[in-house]
Structure 1
Amino acid sequence: MKRRHCLAACAALAGQARGQGLRPLAIGFDEGSLPTMYRAGAQPAARGIYPALVGLAFAALGRPCELRALPFKRLLADVDGGQLLAGAVIRTPEREQRWLFSQAYFLERLSVYSAGVPFRGLADLTGKRVGVIRGWSYGEAFDAARRLGDFHCEEVSADEHNFAKLLRGRLDYVVATELGGRMLLELPAFERRIASGAAALGVTPIHLALPRSHEGGAALLAAFNTAVEQLQRDGQVEPLVAREIAAAAELVRGRGGVASIA
């Protein structure tokens, strides 16, 4: 029954979009997290794995969308204000009070990086300076320890800035996505000087989200879920991920580093 309901919602949304010429959905993504989501140069269009996957799902529904890259805290405020959908966020109890979420469409592995003592577990962060991205959640365990003051977090807009602070001794650890960290460690500035810990911080599901006040939000999310499931069955997701990683890596190499991109 649930499957049939989702298919019906998907068909209804696609027909509505094509028949009524609906206004494009505005969907926001963080601007500084290569290769998953980022802004390339001065253009506001979002690039990366998450925008590509979300855009492909809505294209399958015949629903036009604008994929925008912007600072993460501004993105959160614009979603609360009803101006955007959140294209790639973690589901937290606090956000669930305000937003509706899709099924997870990607699993993001988080790693902890250092230029000294390698990370082995959350207890290693006690009393340390930890670099994070402004406005991000890093899972319930990390967020709870942060609220308790077990360690001090310093926020920036892009992972590269935290890696640079790590090399200058201004941070003890940096939390970043495994895909983003792997890309940065290939740059001459960071190669062989920074390493990921033996243990991952965790694996976090990534969701599309929208305000609870969004008209037709539940049907939109049901249709999106069905479209993503179809992309997965058709084998389109893995090649898309590989292409976006390669494209982000080429940008990094071609422009001499991440700072000139985001």
Structure 2
Amino acid sequence: MRTLLLVYCLLLGTAEAREVLIVGNNYGAPKIYAQNDQPSGLLVDILSYADASLPQHQLTLHLYPWARAYWMAREHQAGIVGLSWTAERQQIFDYSIPLFYDEVLVVVRRDRAFDFAGLDDLAGRRVGLGAGGSFGEDFEQARRRGAFEVIEDNGPVPRLKKLLAGRIDAALINPGLASLQWAIGQDLVLRKRAGELLALPQPLKRDANYLGFHKSMAMGEFLEAFNAVIQQGYDSGEIPRLLERSSRPVAQESAAPAGESVPL
């Protein structure tokens, strides 16, 4: 499959501005994804907001499959947005404050549904997630001790197809129902068989997303300024209002009663 390279200069900035290269995931709608050959999504909107308040820096965003983006960040070629926290990653990256929280859904085949209240309920099961992905330290500890088998892929569409084919027992999809519905809408087979899928009422977790830089890049001064902008944006309500406007059409379509399984 041809690698898709997307470049999005959030603001041109001034000649004196320092470029800050950031990479991210190209298939994480509605959080961050490619749309009409341009980066789109909630994290992109947050970065754009920060860029407008940091005239001394020019933020430039490139989107790749997550595994490649994460490799680039590990090789200190760029910062990475959408990064979850783990103890291992804390040794590698300097983190921003949280930018966004997303729900990680546990999606199953309706005819093979099981009760889910936490990680222990994945024991012995095959779990699908994106290549290079992680959902926090508890998840990583369970993964390392072999509590469940992780099967990686290149996006939610092939993940859901594996689920329908019985090759995995659960697909982890984020952020929330909007992402699940977006993935189903991308593929004819998934649209035809959507009624066979079930999002369990209890999510795996509410996952914090960060901007991170390899410690060798010495981005502490930038992160201090960036964090101040993000904190001010949340304190003032500007970022929540921005996210509400960005997600409203999808959120209205995906509304469901709290605590119920959601048929699609």
Q: Taking structure 1 as the reference length, what is the TM-score of the superposition?
A: 0.79
Q: Give the superposition deviation at 1:97.
A: 1.2
Query: For the residues of structure 1 that align with 2:141 and 2:63, how far apart are their CA atoms?
Result: 28
1:89 aligns with one of 79, 83, 87: 83
- 1:161 aligned counterpart, secondary structure: helix
Structure 2 residues not aligned, in runs of 5+: 1-12, 252-264
Q: Give the superposition deviation at 1:96.
A: 1.3
User: Which residues in structure 2 correspond to 1:62-73 (within 5 Å)?
Assistant: 62=55, 63-73=57-67
Q: Give the superposition deviation at 1:226.
A: 1.0
Q: Give the superposition deviation at 1:195.
A: 1.3
- 1:69 aligned counterpart, secondary structure: strand
Partners of 1:35 and 1:48 within 8 A in 2: yes
Are residue 37 (structure 1) and residue 32 (structure 2) matched? yes
Query: For the residues of structure 1 that align with 2:134 and 2:232, how far apart are their CA atoms?
Result: 29
Aligned to 1:200: 203
- Aligned residue identity for 2:74: D
Aligned to 2:215: 212
Aligned to 1:176: 173
Are residue 240 (structure 1) and residue 236 (structure 2) matched? no
Aligned to 2:52: 59
- Aligned residue identity for 1:114: V
Q: Give the superposition deviation at 1:136.
A: 0.8
Aligned to 1:252: none
Aligned to 1:221: 223
Query: For the residues of structure 1 that align with 2:162 and 2:139, how far apart are their CA atoms?
Result: 21
Are residue 50 (structure 1) and residue 43 (structure 2) matched? yes
How many residues align? The count is 229
| Alignment RMSD (CA, Å) | 2.3
Aligned to 1:257: none
Structure 1 residues not aligned, in runs of 5+: 1-16, 250-262
Q: Give the superposition deviation at 1:82.
A: 2.2
Q: Give the superposition deviation at 1:233.
A: 2.9
More strand by share: 2
- 1:150 aligned counterpart, secondary structure: coil
Q: Sort the Cα spacing of 1:77 and 1:103 in 2 relative to 1 into closer, same or farther, 3 A.
A: same
Partners of 2:107 and 2:172 within 8 A in 1: yes
- Aligned residue identity for 1:29: G
Query: For the residues of structure 2 that align with 1:40 and 1:248, how far apart are their CA atoms?
Result: 15
Q: Give the superposition deviation at 1:57.
A: 0.8
- 1:39 aligned counterpart, secondary structure: strand
2:114 aligns with one of 114, 118, 123: 118
Q: Sort the Cα spacing of 1:26 and 1:247 in 2 relative to 1 into closer, same or farther, 3 A.
A: farther
Aligned to 1:105: 99
Query: For the residues of structure 1 that align with 2:157 and 2:243, how far apart are their CA atoms?
Result: 21
Aligned to 1:154: 151
Q: Taking structure 2 as the reference length, what is the TM-score of the superposition?
A: 0.78
Bigger RCO (CA 8 Å, 6+ sep):
1
Q: Give the superposition deviation at 1:114.
A: 0.3
Query: For the residues of structure 1 that align with 2:115 and 2:242, how far apart are their CA atoms?
Result: 31
Aligned to 1:135: 132
Partners of 1:29 and 1:72 within 8 A in 2: yes
Q: Give the superposition deviation at 1:103.
A: 0.8
Identity fraction in percent? 25
Are residue 22 (structure 1) and residue 17 (structure 2) matched? yes
- 2:192 aligned counterpart, secondary structure: coil
- 1:137 aligned counterpart, secondary structure: coil
- 2:203 aligned counterpart, secondary structure: coil
Query: For the residues of structure 2 that align with 1:93 and 1:238, how far apart are their CA atoms?
Result: 29
